[in-house]
Amino acid sequence: MFNIINFNEQELKKWMKENGEQAFRSKQVLNWIYKGVTSFNEMKNISAKTQENLAKNFYIGTPEIVRKLVSDIDGTIKYLMKLHDGNIIECVLMKYKHGNSICISSQVGCRMGCKFCASTIGGRVRDLDSGEMLGQIIAVSRDINERISNVVMMGSGEPLDNYNNVIKFLEEVGKEYGLNIGARHITLSTCGIVPEILELGEKGLQITLAISLHASNDEIRRKSMPIANKYSIEEVIEACKSYIHKTNRRVTFEYALIEGLNDEEIHAVELSELLKGMLCHVNLIPVNEVKESGYKKPNKKRIERFKSILEKNNIETTVRREMGADINAACGQLRRDYMNE
């Protein structure tokens, strides 16, 4: 049995031809899938014979929502989802004036080991396939009965550690017969896997690349991010410059501010020097406090001081607004709590 959401139109056409079905039906079937049907017999313009043939060979792999938390503060919704094999993932819906944005997972767990992130506790179980990533969006859109217009790949997992499946997801999420979410409405976040950043740049996709930098020098970065032992900040920055050159897209640098580790004025100055002249934006993130790490967020005065130094050096900077604070909306927290029950 195959998850039909893993098939694009050409792949499903090929299957149709090989199994005695009319190839043009593939687009109709996929259109129903992306509308959120949960069984093949809901496909009204597909014959009973074809429905039966599909049901013998495929399942519709949208994940099952097993827990749903809604923030009383801002309406953010955190979903805990069960995959076809019983593995648990999570995603988050954020409501903005400009539309609905979803933060999806790309792996079950994560092996990158970043100390400030709950999703890495317990390591990586497996990669998600493209259909499982698409399925998160389909399931949430069906749940809220509204269109989702923006996607952020910042949930559990490192997207570039699951490169091929993520590329297929990016190719499919924009298809008109499907979710029709344009590349410029998608942000992919990575801790900085240099070869894949370079390869992504060669593809010329118009997505927004976000780099989890979180330090102004290698010594600090190695304390919280094991990936820094493989790729230096200089290598990451050079890969980003190549990405900008190939795509003409601005890169976002995510910087989790951690009290006493990377929030001093000297760190803001160092970061300014690193990013001087780049087509970029810095998103300062007061760190989510995960008890296993012991990290704490700086006070508001220190955050604003850090921001002002970057801005004085002509680096566009924002402080991320915390969303879903009352529902453990940080990556991995809900899954971790569920697994510990």
Query: What are the catalytic residues?
Result: 90, 331
- Provide the sign of the torsion angle of the four alpha carbons 147, 152, 156, 160, taken in this order: positive
Rounded distance, CA 230 to CA 161, Å?
14
* Closest to 136 (Cα-Cα) out of 173, 104, 169: 104
Task: Give residue 323's identity as a one-letter amino acid code.
Answer: M
**Token pair in block for residue 244:** 């900008």
- Give the SS3 label for residue 71: coil
Do residues 133 and 104 make contact, with C-beta atoms less than 8 angstroms apart?
A: yes
Q: Other CB atoms closer than 10 Å to residue 276's CB: what's the count? A: 11
Greatest Cα pair distance in the chain: 69
Name the DSSP class of 141: H
Which helix or strand (DSSP H or E) is residue 11 part of?
A: helix 9-18
**Token pair in block for residue 335:** 């899954």
Rounded distance, CA 181 to CA 151, Å?
8
Do residues 41 and 143 make contact, with C-beta atoms less than 8 angstroms apart?
A: no
Phi, psi for residue 231 in degrees, rounded to 5: -125, 125
Report the residue count for the chain.
Answer: 341
- Give the SS3 label for residue 195: helix
Q: Please give the C-alpha separations between residue 120 and each of 69, 113, 236, 331, 336, in angstroms, as whole numbers.
A: 21, 5, 21, 9, 10
